[in-house]
Structure 1
Amino acid sequence: MYISNSAASSWKLNLIIIRLGIGFGEVMDDICTLQNSLKILCTWKCKSNNNKIRFSKTLIQKPISQLLKPISCLHPLAPPHTIPQDNSTKHKTLLVESYHEHRRLKVLLAKLNKKGSCPLEMLQDDGDWSKEHFWAVIRFLKLSSRSKEVLQVFDTWKNIEKSRINEFNYEKIIGLLSEEDLMEDASLAFMEMKSFGLSPSLQIYNSLVHSYARNGKFDDALFYLNQMKETNLPLESDTYDGLIQAYGKYKMYDEMGMCLKKMELDGCSPDCFTYNLLIQEFAKAGLLNKMERVYQSMRTKRMDLRSSTLIAMLEAYVNFGIVEKMDKILRRVWNSKATLKEDLIRKMAVVYIENFMYSRLDDLGDDLSSRNGKTDIVWCLHLLSNSCSLSQKGMDSIVRDMEQAKVSWNVTFANIILLAYLKMKDFTHLRMLLSKLTNLHVEPDIVTVGILFDACDLGFHGTGILETWRRMGLLYRCVEMQTDPLVLTAFGKGQFLRRCEEAYSSLDPNAREKKKWTYCNLIDLVAKNNGKQHQLNAR
């Protein structure tokens, strides 16, 4: 679909307006009809929270007749003419002023959105901007990746009215520049602020310390930290938390410990957030001893662990395969009602499989089911638990549950059961399931083909099934691996798949890339390569 340049520009402007949190209501030509219409009354506020400029709006969707009711108790069914006219006039005036204000702002943002726009020239042409318009422009520049223009615009705007040279405005500007990692501009604004005799707040110092540390400039970060002490600002844990997080980012774990000690010496006690942060950073680094020491300190102090901290600890134990501690933290995670990502679930399943703890797969599936319902990964875990244990009764029970739940089969479910039959050398059930794949709407993948050939090596007569697949055209399809990797972790690749890898790796790189590999091609390649191996062995 073709979009013109003007349409694209308009779309971009609308997107930025939406992200700014600005809405524009339609106003009727005749203001008098507002009294019986539904309108949106937008009031704009410029807030400062955590050094981020946010714009909010209050949407009131009511008939104007309700908006115009006086505080005194009018009867709810009183006719419109009983409403005092002065109230009506005030509300009409408010609506009209609000409409024109938003229209002016929309025009301003539209000018900014034009290619090559210069906010300094626009400010000079307009003469001045209101506080609301100025911060809307600053937010626009940030969202448009034009934050380098912020300091110049601020300098020009504040010099128009000297009362704008205050701690509040500098705090927001320095916070925004620090957030955007424009540290040279942030430092310039900081020095200029001090030249005006203004006292930087704790929030300003935190912005500078955190941003310098986040960018690996720890000498600069510590410079501003020392300035905070010299000015006798009351230190808070948040300042040190930013340093600790930055040390963790750059794998400076010894410095993390030193920062904690420095924090305590400076009379700033670590809080719950500090301890959670330390555990998370040590967990990511795999420093289990340090992680556990902080964890014990938290328990002694009766501080709460965040769900994200518990998950970080869990992942650390999973990575090291420490089953006992992994299970202990996992219980705490479930009690916290935290949500685990599927990749972490798979990592835990691998740990259980490698330790031959197949029943734990069933437990893991039950825990997941109670929280997220019976998803494919849940059925996979249940089937693997019983298939790895070679429990025919257990597999049959899971299959019945799947049928009752009307679960659609896929190649992963089929291959799990087929591999169990292959391992048990139960060729009767193997043949039955292979013959039912078409009815189950399951197409074989490379793992299924491998199971068939591995079974043939053990004496299974699978020629008929192979011919059926050939007649159906399944063997002329491109080779695919649709089976869940957990299945190969549990049962291994099998002889046929290993032969495929050997035959494929023996080819010239150009030959691998040029050929479109179908199952027939791969079967022929394995047979040819296997024949060569037999000849070499005979020699």
Structure 2
Amino acid sequence: MVLCLEQIMKEWKQKGRIFIKGEFVDCASLIQALSKRRLPHLAQELLVEMKSEGLAPNNSTLCALMLCYAENEFFSQSEGVWDEMLNSSWVPSIQIVSELMDAYAKMGHFDKVKRIMDQVISRNFDFVPDLYSVAISCFGKLGKLELMENTLKEMVARGFPVDSATGNTFIRYYSIFGSLTEMETSYGRLKRSRHLIEEEGIRAMSIAYIRERKFYRLSEFLRDVGLERRNVGNLLWNLLLLSFAVNFKMKTLQREFIRMLDAGFGPDLTTFNIRALAFSRMNLFWDLHLSLEHMKHESVVSDLVTYGCLVDAYLDRRLAKNLNFALNKMNVDDSPLVSTDPLVFEAMGKGDFHLSSEAVMEFNRQKKWTYRQLIAIYLKKQYRRKQIFWNY
């Protein structure tokens, strides 16, 4: 094992990745590499080797060693390095503290996370307000909502204000791990603090409503946020249209689309594809073609979803022979891409052509595909499927 360590050190010295300045040595990158390879014992031997040569690790090396221990469950060694550094004149950065807390939290050692917080707070470092935000995120991403709430209460009790980022963080984690009621309570708290919900929070809440199939509550939430907001682009309007399209409320869908245009919002690809999916599944060919003409007029380029709406609609009505009539107006020799907002698929799923095409492209990633080729393969598959059916 010593020989292995010597070989590694020799190799890294040759690469110029170990730096010696006076009596201090910097080999943080080497320790980080050992951590990723799950070799904390070698990192420990490295420290002993350095000290035997009369060298002392610098602060960046000690930080890397501490994180290496924590990430590989050498907790007593990690705490020893932390205490040693903290009792010196060293001032930790919020980044190091954040990584250390995350490492402990992932292993379920929330008591150690709290210990780090108490030590940092007792020393009154400048980044204490940021520390609370880091802790809230640390607990939230693991679904520890009660710990997250307790941290917020402590933060407020100490006189630190809750900023927009922290409020939106609460919404995001309640939307993932909490109930819809808890999520809505968190949103109400953000509103009372007079902070705006940001795009990430809007998306998180919308996904929660979509997964619970609560589309009326989704539309009410979007109206409450304010459809006139322009700093999130078309997101709010697109989600509102989606809430009606998923239940095929076609009149309301069209009415809200006109309201969107009247409000000065230009439809994007996601807007058009939400409508196209609804038209396709309702076999509303006239509306589908008008939507495609509107896209062309707005210079919005179709993606795989748009083509899928056409192909699925025509094949559903057994009009494959007439498909070329629609495709002649499109750029079928373009390379396939999907630029539609993934939230659309959460609500409406993917069409048969879309799913089939993704499977074909995944099977042969080296080939440069076109829409024309994918359509030809799909039509052939459908034809063969019918032939097999009739043979039985």
TM over 0.5: yes
* Structure 2 residue 267 is the aligned partner of structure 1 residue 409: yes
Structure 1 unaligned residues grouped into runs of 5+ = 1-145, 156-173, 189-205, 229-237
8 A contact 1:321–1:351 mirrored in 2: no
One-letter code aligned to 2:238: C
1:379 is aligned to 2:237: yes
Q: Deviations over 1:88-127 (max 9, x none)?
A: xxxxxxxxxxxxxxxxxxxxxxxxxxxxxxxxxxxxxxxx
Q: Which of the numbers 249, 254, 258 marks the counterpart of 1:391?
A: 249
CA shift at 1:406, angstroms?
Answer: 4.6
CA contact (8 A) 1:445 1:479 kept: yes
Q: Which residue of 1 aligns with 2:205?
A: 348
What pairs with 1:243-322 in structure 2 (closer than 5 Å)?
245-252=98-105, 255-258=109-112, 260=114, 268=122, 275-297=132-154, 304-320=161-177, 322=179
Equivalents in 1 of 2:120, 2:326: separation in Å? 79
**Any idea what the Cα deviations from partners look like across 1:228-249, whole Å, max 9, x if unmatched?**
8xxxxxxxxx879898635313
TM-score, length basis structure 2: 0.66
Given that residues 450 and 496 in structure 1 are in contact (C-alpha distance below 8 angstroms), is that contact kept between their aligned partners in structure 2? yes
Residue 453 of structure 1 corresponds to 311
Q: Is the 8 A contact 1:208 1:221 kept in 2?
A: no
Does the C-alpha gap of structure 1 residues 265 and 148 become closer, same or farther in structure 2, counting only changes over 3 Å?
Answer: closer
2:38 counterpart residue number = none
Show the counterpart of 1:43.
none
The answer for unaligned runs of 5 or more in structure 2 is: 1-16, 32-46, 52-58, 70-77
Q: 1:331 to 1:214 in 2, by over 3 A?
A: farther
- Output the CA distance in 1 between the equivalents of 2:314 and 2:320: 6
| Counterpart contact for 2:140–2:148, Cα < 8 Å | yes
Contact preservation (8 Å) 1:411, 1:442? yes
Query: How far apart, in 2, do the equivalents of 1:214 and 1:328 lie?
Result: 37
Which structure carries more relative contact order (alpha carbon 8 Å, separation 6+)? Answer: 2
- Matched letter for residue 419 of structure 1: L
Residues 138-537 of structure 1: matches in 2 within 5 Å? 213=66, 216=69, 217-225=78-86, 245-252=98-105, 255-258=109-112, 260=114, 268=122, 275-297=132-154, 304-320=161-177, 322-334=179-191, 335-337=193-195, 340=198, 342-362=199-219, 363-364=221-222, 367=225, 369=227, 372-373=230-231, 375-459=233-317, 466-470=324-328, 472=329, 474-501=331-358, 512-513=364-365, 515-537=367-389
Quote how far apart the aligned CAs of 1:327 are.
Answer: 2.0
How far residue 416 of structure 1 moved from its aligned partner, in angstroms, is 0.8
Question: Which amino acid is the alignment partner of residue 390 of structure 1?
Answer: F
Distance 1:353 1:246 in 2: 33
Gap change, CA 1:370 and 1:300, over 3 Å in 2? farther
Count of matched residue pairs: 339
Alpha-carbon distance in 1 for matches of 2:172, 2:129 = 21
2:277 counterpart letter in structure 1: L
**Alpha carbons of structure 1 residues 463 and 408: separation in structure 2 relative to 1, 3 Å:** farther
Question: Normalised by the size of structure 1, how large is the TM-score?
Answer: 0.51
Aligned-pair CA distance for 1:225: 4.2
Larger radius of gyration: 1
One-letter amino acid of the counterpart of residue 526, structure 1: Y
Query: How far apart in 2 are the matches of 1:251 and 1:224?
Result: 18
Alignment match, 2:40 = none
Give % identity: 23
Distance 1:256 1:439, change over 3 A: closer
* Whole-angstrom distance in 2 between the partners of 1:241 and 1:494: 46
Q: Distance in 2 between matches of 1:440 and 1:265?
A: 59
Residue 315 of structure 1 aligns to a residue whose secondary structure is helix
Partners of 2:121 and 2:356 lie apart in 1 by 67
